[in-house]
Amino acid sequence: MTRADAAAWLLGRDRYLILTHRRPDGDTVGSAAALCRALRALGKSAHVLKNPEVTEKYLPLLSGLTVDAPQAGQTVISVDVASKNMLPDRFAALLPAIELRLDHHAGESFTPLELVDPEMGACGELIWDLLNLWGLKMDRKIAEALYTAVSTDTGCFRYANTTAHTFTVAAACAQAGGDLFSINQAIFETTSLAKLRLSGYAAEHIRRSQGGKIAVFPLPKAVETALEATEDDLENVSGLPRSLPGVALAATLRENPGGSVKVSLRAAPGYDAAAICRNFGGGGHRGAAGATLKMSLEAATQAMEQAMAEAL
């Protein structure tokens, strides 16, 4: 679909139920909140399906917008959900009901209709384009939701996915009266003791190879527990190995409860994180991608080190 197609399609329907992804980040939550408020401003009924994994930092964005359970006859759409595996388990039964996916991940198609633009640094940028097509003016709450979406997915406008369009959206959020300073303080400046301890652990356990071009950070579940790290504390843990000088490919590996290992891979410009992750059934963007490996943490770490070395 083009943006105009999606805008018209959304205008022609009602009773929206918006789905966010597993381990929800600022982009999926901010995009869902902004789209929900925009649809309501258009006179539609719209809700975001409650995702219990949303952390305290992003929960206020969804205030007054969520419902606990789906209802019959709703128009179900997803935002920032790259693949059906990214749907929370409790949303799985809704998969056949999702009519439209709004996203910026190239990933696999899993809905009859989709508006996907991998050129966008954040899904929130796509939502802003829809608002413009509808001629909607952002209010402060929409502006703060969209700013949260675009700032988090671009690492506060530092990652390679940041474009002029990203800044245009951010400027519009400022113009609409969003309290951007408070968002920046809460998301990018404030840290926690657990986060600082995590950095300390990372400094001692990141493994470097290929002359420092590759860095991997295996993080055992037992360590997360011992450091009392919450999902908020761990949100940007994949940035730690990448922060070392000279690193071209950086992977952070976390143990899932079921015994599998979740890999977050980051690549410097000129390298393709998604291509490496596809070897393991995953995917994503050139700069940032992920995969789930059904093996021990140590075996997954070695498998990633080998795949990354081959990709250099």
C-alpha of 16 from chain center: 21
Q: Closest approach of Cβ 5 to Mn ion, in Å?
A: 21
Q: Closest approach of Cβ 120 to Mn ion, in Å?
A: 9
In terms of CB distance, is 149 or 261 closer to Mn ion?
149
In terms of CB distance, is 149 or 303 closer to Mn ion?
149
In terms of CB distance, is 153 or 233 closer to Mn ion?
153
Q: Closest approach of Cβ 293 to Mn ion, in Å?
A: 22
Q: Closest approach of Cβ 185 to Mn ion, in Å?
A: 22
Q: Which residue is nearest to Mn ion (CB)?
A: 27
Q: What residues does 48 pair with on adjacent strands?
A: 18, 66
CA-nearest of 213, 234, 244 to 308 is 213
Site string for Mn ion, 80-119 (x = CB under 5 A): x---------------------------------------
CA distance 31 to 47: 12
In this structure, are strands 283-284 and 288-293 parallel, antiparallel, or unpaired? antiparallel
State which H helix or E strand residue 144 sits in: helix 140-153
C-alpha of 180 from chain center: 19
In terms of CB distance, is 86 or 215 closer to Mn ion?
86
Q: Closest approach of Cβ 122 to Mn ion, in Å?
A: 5
In terms of CB distance, is 80 or 233 closer to Mn ion?
80
By the rule CB under 5 A, 153 interacts with Mn ion: yes
Q: Closest approach of Cβ 79 to Mn ion, in Å?
A: 9
211 conformational bin, left if phi > 0, alpha if psi -120 to 50, beta if neither: left
Which of 19, 27, 150, 291 contacts Mn ion by CB under 5 A? 27
By the rule CB under 5 A, 288 interacts with Mn ion: no
Handedness of CA 307, 217, 161, 278 (dihedral sign): positive
By the rule CB under 5 A, 125 interacts with Mn ion: no
From 41-49, 63-71, 133-141, 152-160, span contacting Mn ion (CB under 5 A): 152-160
By the rule CB under 5 A, 123 interacts with Mn ion: yes
Contact 18, 48 (CB under 8 A): yes
Q: Closest approach of Cβ 174 to Mn ion, in Å?
A: 21
In terms of CB distance, is 153 or 255 closer to Mn ion?
153
DSSP reduced 3-state for 1: coil
Contact 79, 61 (CB under 8 A): no
Contact 78, 19 (CB under 8 A): yes
Write phi, then psi, for 99 (nearest 5 degrees): -95, -35
Residues that bind Mn ion (CB under 5 A): 27, 80, 123, 153
